[in-house]
Amino acid sequence: MEVKVLVVFVLSFLSCAPVEQHGKVIKVVDGDTFDIIEANTTTRIRLFGIDSPERGQAFNKRAKAFTDSLVAGKQIRIVVRNRDRYGRTVGDAYLADGTHVNAEIVKAGFAWQFTRYSTDPEIAAMERIARNKRLGLWQDDHAVPPWEFRKGKRQ
């Protein structure tokens, strides 16, 4: 009986441990999406809780360039949150020095906090500061959030 209890405890503990992926960034797709490679397997990563301008939106190229300057060719650790409907791994990305990539993009003004999925008060504060300092996309007085831009394209 004690062995069964121990097995259940260990399995429940392991299921709570965060799933991580590691790899080298080989391609930046846009401001919040990139590809990593590890052991000859390529994985598309969508950064959790943030949303950068879409292709066709103002600041899309600058957001992509910023993300590229931050992660391209670097080893990265992904704390996996889930998979999205497109099969991408969604998670938080960290550089070897511990830099939280998702936060850095928001802090530089190249992404919104995606409040549909994230209520992180630190990310919210970084967005407010970037807005107040008019960093990145916040230079545009009429910046349209990507989720509204996508909605408009569908209609």
Residue length of the chain:
155
Residues that are catalytic: 46, 54, 88
Q: Tell me the CB-side half-sphere exposure of residue 83, using CA atoms within 13 A.
A: 7
User: What CA–CA distances, in Å, run from 114 to 14, 32, 42, 102, 155?
Assistant: 29, 11, 25, 11, 21
